[in-house]
Amino acid sequence: MSYAQRKDLSGNPMLAWFFTIVVVGGLLYAIVTGLAFNVIKHAAQNLKVIDVEDQPPPPEKPPPPPKDMPKVPPPPMTPPPLVRTLAPPPPIQTVTSTVIPPVAPPVISPPAPPAPVPPPRKVQSAQSAKGDLRTLFGPDDYPASAQAAGAEGTAQAQITIGTDGRVAGCNIIKSSGNSALDSATCNIIRRRAKYTPARDSNGQATTDTITTPPIVWRLEG
């Protein structure tokens, strides 16, 4: 550095400081760069590359042989039960058809029979030819079995008068309470009663049914 420059620098302190910093910075950079390069080069020469191979794992030891175990027969095998699957029945198809009923032939009713001809109206009833019917019974007509039993009672009968005026039928409609007295009542009427037969509107004799007066059966004291 010349004297003139030094003079200029001494006259301007800021400029002097600037040049000082630049010079010192350049020296430091040169020193650091050189030293770092030498250190890296020396370290690279001393570095040795060693390939490390992976060691295989040691072989596994075989398991010890099993001890003698008693032979146990295997359990019996039971087959699973058979499950029978029933197939569902086929669906029932209902066929609906319209059935036209047969037309019945018309029913022809037979003609009504003619009304029966009513019998001739009775205009005269049968009358007893011998007056009161109760006069036909007397003390000698009392049944012996009824007397022995001391039976008494009143009987009444329904009688049928034929066209000849005779009694064709007799039915007791009021019992005396004694079968012998009831039987004697109808027997005496059939044998002794005589009637004038009934007459119709044409004057012809016809049958008639009448009810007798009560017939009283009493034992004489």
CB-CB contact of 205 with 214 (8 Å): no
Report pLDDT for 134: 87
CA distances 200 to 102, 126, 159, Å, are: 56, 11, 19
Phi and psi for 17 in degrees, rounded to 5?
A: -60, -35
Which pLDDT tens digit goes with each residue over 18-72? Answer: 778 877 777 777 676 655 555 455 555 555 545 555 666 677 776 666 665 556 6
CB-CB contact of 27 with 35 (8 Å): no
pLDDT class of 214 with cuts at 50, 70, 90: very high
Q: How far is it, in rounded angstroms, from Cα 166 to Cα 193?
A: 7
Above 90 in pLDDT, residue 149? Answer: yes
Report pLDDT for 172: 96
Angle (CA) 218 220 221, round 5°: 125
Tokens of 213: 């007066």
Tell me how far the alpha carbon of residue 177 is from its chain's centroid. 63
Closest CA to 215 of 173, 159, 156: 156
Report the amino acid identity of residue 157.
A
**Residues pairing with 174 in the sheet:** 156
How confident is the model over 172-194, as a mean pLDDT? 95
**Arithmetic mean of pLDDT over the chain:** 75
Q: What share of the chain is helix, strand, coil (3-state, %, to 5)?
A: 30, 15, 50
Report pLDDT for 154: 96
Report pLDDT for 160: 94
DSSP structure string for 75-111: PPPPPPPP-PPPPPPPPPPP------PPPPPPP-PPP
Closest CA to 193 of 173, 170, 175: 170
Q: Which of 114-118, 179-183, 196-200 has the lowest mean pLDDT?
A: 114-118
The class (CATH top level) of 122-217 is: alpha beta
